[in-house]
Amino acid sequence: MSSRLPEKLYFKIGEVSRIVGVKPYVLRYWETEFEVLKPGKAPSRHRLYRKKDVELLLEIRRLLYAEGYTIEGARKKLKEDRKEERKQLKLPLSESAYRNALIKIKKDLLSLHKRLS
């Protein structure tokens, strides 16, 4: 999905509309239905979508149009997928192991800082 997205930090709603293949009003509607979708706003109050927002919109479009999910079904599927991703990200280290690793990193950074000073 993301391979066809231009390398930009932000996308305007018109650009996102063309990339996703739906009208801007559909994007605005999806924002009300999918709580994970929260584009930023420019000082001019125009929506600014990040790359991850566009990827999420492409996934929503796929679920709704290609897979035939309802809005509620797509919402649940996205929630399940996020839950599964979080499970996969959990590392099997104890809290003390993380703490010790951070202490070592801090010592290494301080040592490097002294050398560079």
Write down the mean pLDDT value for the chain.
90
Is residue 59 domain-resident?
A: yes
pLDDT of residue 10: 93
Residue 88 in any domain: the answer is: yes
Distance CA 115, CA 111 (A): 6
The pLDDT value given to residue 2: 46
CATH classification at residue 73: 1.10.1660.10
- At residue 41, what are phi and psi to the nearest 5 degrees? -130, 135
Domain boundaries, position 48: 2-92
Instruction: Note the pLDDT of residue 94.
Output: 74
Would residue 70 count as lying in a domain?
Answer: yes
DSSP string for 55-95: HHHHHHHIIIIIS---HHHHHHHHHHHHHHHHHHH--S--H
